[in-house]
A and B are shown apart, each in its own frame.
Chain A
Amino acid sequence: MTIYTITQLAYVVSAALFIFALYWMNDPKSARWGVYSGVAAMLIAILATWAQPQIIIHHGWIVGAIILGFVVGVPLSRVPLTAVPQRTALSHAFGGLAAGLVGTAEYFLWLHGEQHNLTTFRMTAIIVEIVLGYLTFTGSLMAAGKLQGIKWIPQRPVTYPLQNVGNIGLLLLALVLGVAIVMNPAEAWSSSVFLGIVGLSLVFGVLLIIPIGGADMPTVISILNAYAGLSAVAMGFVLNNKLLITAGALDGSSGLILSIIMCKAMNRSFVNVLFGAFGQVQAEAVSDGEQKVYKSETSEGAALILEQASLVVIIPGYGMAVSQAQHKVRELYDQLKKRGITVKFAIHPVAGRMPGHMNVLLAEAEIPYTDLVEMDEINPDMPQCDVALVLGANDVVNPAARYNKTSPIYGMPIIDADKAKTVFAVKRSKNPGFAGIDNELYFSDKTWMLFGDAKAVVGELVKQLSLDTD
């Protein structure tokens, strides 16, 4: 048995373990097994690749790069959970960069050596690999910057005239260059064209993310996830490596599924989002001139009403993450539970800045995951709900999505907070939400506003409730 065969067999084992890793993620109880399985798969893959004496000579370089990876990777895994979206975006950037660089290296290697390796199939795969890799790299860096709130990256969507036309033109140009180089991989001008495609992909990644705002981030992160996976698949085609293809395809399909879920949850078409924010309807702030009146409530009053409830549904949104309110929310949860009140959390799929963001934050505060309920499951129970506490969420509870055809969020599935008997909405300011539209829930007869930072307001509620028990 040659070392080549052993390596290939090890890859088969590794691929199977990767599939198990994802399979065990279907339940929180078995999910940690998924991590162990993934780690084992990765170890096997690395060792099997490394142990090919006729290929691998420069061990020092490998060890050095691996150590550096640990030096950067370990602190990156210790970020606060509110920063998980930007960490995820950053790691998509690393993934894209790795694919792009390996593609570049392979191309120049073959160009200056065994040119017969530059077959049409392989060249196509290399071009796909570098385009996806480099655009994922800059795109994810931009997304991470936006999420982190870095000053020189605009947070608000940036639009300019002919944006879509320009972007599509750029994409077409890259496509034409790509076809040219696939046909003529080894001409004198080929390497300049190659670098041109690299440059275009880098620019394209930036332009793709510029027009995207915070509320679209869950979708965009999912798409970048799929791109990073697909660039690994392309690398597998280039290197004739089926393990790369399998693992990349698993990642790609995960990104695909999450993107579809996010799209459905925002009522955006999949094609629309797949090509970035192309054709996105820019929300016009609709104001009919009429001054509407909010009713505010004090924390004393709100606490009294909360005490009388038998079912309280808390609807968290990005505002909870921003003010790091999850631990105060846990105290509120305990106070209410102590009184025999049922407390549930209604989780909208796009609440927060990435898929599942709210669940992780609430789990961090050790709220049992059995009380985190999906939108579709909680909505039938909303009419029985005594108090809906909207905590830093906005568009996901806007009833206009149900019937107002002119609204930018029309058709988006929402949590039926308006069907609860009483609504408390915690909001930092009187500004409209991301979509730039008024939320009529706030003006409803049964809604009382609690203005202030989510953490401070919930803290006040907890204080009131604990005063009452003593």
Chain B
Amino acid sequence: MEQMDYISMIFVFMLSTFIGIGVIGRVSRLLHTPLMSITNAISAIAVIGSIIVVGSDHPLPIRILGAIALFSSMTNIVSGFLITDRMLKMFKVKPGIIKGENVKK
């Protein structure tokens, strides 16, 4: 087992939070609902923790907990990505509509 390197983990957490804030701050407000669905799916990355718990040679009750967790995460991954794509498909500039048309001059 590798050493617990918690300082570097805290570093990763700090840096990815800043990346997250930087990237998400630029997301179009039009897309906040799809954004939330896709981050739902992304936070289901808990799936890898679940796989380790359910797949290892642990006592049965532990693996049952892991299986429920894996099922929950998979549900989020599948429904999260599918519904995000379904919503994004709907956002379009219709043909025939002049682009850049705006109330503002």
- Pair A58/B54 contact, Cβ less than 8 Å: yes
The size class of the interface chain A forms with chain B is 35 or more
- Pair B90/A70 contact, Cβ less than 8 Å: no
- A65 an interface residue at 8 Å Cβ cutoff? yes
- A414 an interface residue at 8 Å Cβ cutoff? no
- Pair B30/A359 contact, Cβ less than 8 Å: yes
Contact flags A432-466 to B (C-beta < 8 A → 1, else 0)? 00000000000000000000000000000000000
- Pair B45/A73 contact, Cβ less than 8 Å: no
Cβ–Cβ < 8 Å partners of B27 in chain A = 22, 25-26
- Pair B50/A69 contact, Cβ less than 8 Å: no
Cβ–Cβ < 8 Å partners of A366 in chain B = 90, 92, 94
- Pair A46/B9 contact, Cβ less than 8 Å: no
Q: Which of A232, A254, A373 sits near B36, CB closer than 8 Å?
A: A254
A57 to B58, CA, bound (A): 10
- Pair A356/B29 contact, Cβ less than 8 Å: yes
A56-B55, A105-B65, A364-B90 known; A250+B49 contact, CB < 8 A: no
Interface of A is mostly: helix
A73-B76, A372-B30 known; A22+B38 contact, CB < 8 A: yes
Closest residue on chain B to residue A242 by CB atoms: B12
A32-B85, A65-B71 known; A57+B77 contact, CB < 8 A: no
Cβ–Cβ < 8 Å partners of B63 in chain A = 58, 61
Closest residue on chain A to residue B33 by CB atoms: A356
- A165 an interface residue at 8 Å Cβ cutoff? no
- Pair B36/A88 contact, Cβ less than 8 Å: yes
Residues of chain B in range 16-61 having any CB-CB distance to chain A below 8 Å: 16-21, 23-59, 61
- Pair A235/B104 contact, Cβ less than 8 Å: no
Closest residue on chain A to residue B99 by CB atoms: A370
A101-B66, A366-B94 known; A251+B43 contact, CB < 8 A: yes
- Pair A95/B48 contact, Cβ less than 8 Å: no
Closest residue on chain B to residue A233 by CB atoms: B13
Q: How many A-B residue pairs have CB under 8 A?
A: 380
- Pair A77/B86 contact, Cβ less than 8 Å: yes
- Pair B32/A359 contact, Cβ less than 8 Å: yes
- A272 an interface residue at 8 Å Cβ cutoff? no
A22-B20, A28-B88, A104-B65 known; A77+B35 contact, CB < 8 A: no
Q: Closest CB of chain A to B29's CB: distance in Å?
A: 6
Q: Closest CB of chain B to A21's CB: distance in Å?
A: 6
- A276 an interface residue at 8 Å Cβ cutoff? no
Cβ–Cβ < 8 Å partners of A58 in chain B = 54-57, 63
Q: Closest CB of chain A to B17's CB: distance in Å?
A: 5
A35-B85, A122-B4, A370-B101 known; A69+B31 contact, CB < 8 A: no
Q: Closest CB of chain B to A371's CB: distance in Å?
A: 8
- A331 an interface residue at 8 Å Cβ cutoff? no
B-binding segment of A173-181, A221-229, A286-294: A221-229
Q: Which of A28, A240, A246, A247 sits near B31, CB closer than 8 Å?
A: A28
- Pair B74/A73 contact, Cβ less than 8 Å: yes
B-binding segment of A155-163, A374-382, A393-401: A374-382
A104 to B50, CA, bound (A): 11
Cβ–Cβ < 8 Å partners of B83 in chain A = 76-77, 79, 84, 87
- A281 an interface residue at 8 Å Cβ cutoff? no
Q: Closest CB of chain B to A253's CB: distance in Å?
A: 3
- Pair B42/A102 contact, Cβ less than 8 Å: no
Contact flags A338-358 to B (C-beta < 8 A → 1, else 0)? 000010100101000011110
Closest residue on chain A to residue B6 by CB atoms: A121
- A309 an interface residue at 8 Å Cβ cutoff? no
- A279 an interface residue at 8 Å Cβ cutoff? no
- Pair B72/A370 contact, Cβ less than 8 Å: no
Cβ–Cβ < 8 Å partners of B102 in chain A = 370
Q: Which of B32, B47, B65 sits near A46, CB closer than 8 Å?
A: B47
Q: Which of B5, B28, B43 sits near A28, CB closer than 8 Å?
A: B28
A104 to B75, CA, bound (A): 20
Most buried by B among A32, A254, A359: A254
A221 to B43, CA, bound (A): 15
Closest residue on chain B to residue A114 by CB atoms: B1
- Pair A221/B36 contact, Cβ less than 8 Å: yes
- A34 an interface residue at 8 Å Cβ cutoff? yes
A57-B55, A252-B20 known; A247+B45 contact, CB < 8 A: yes
Closest residue on chain B to residue A32 by CB atoms: B88
Q: Which of A46, A242, A371 sits near B51, CB closer than 8 Å?
A: A46
A-B contact pairs, 11 of them (CB 8 A): A21-B38, A35-B85, A55-B56, A56-B55, A77-B86, A101-B65, A101-B69, A105-B69, A112-B59, A238-B49, A381-B103
Question: Told that A97-B68, A235-B46, A237-B9 touch, could you supply 14 new A-B pairs with CB distance under 8 A?
Answer: A31-B31, A58-B55, A61-B55, A61-B66, A65-B71, A84-B33, A87-B83, A240-B2, A241-B49, A256-B21, A359-B91, A360-B90, A370-B101, A370-B102
Pairs of residues from A and B, 6 with the lowest C-beta to C-beta distance, nearest first: A69-B74, A73-B78, A356-B32, A253-B20, A77-B82, A251-B43
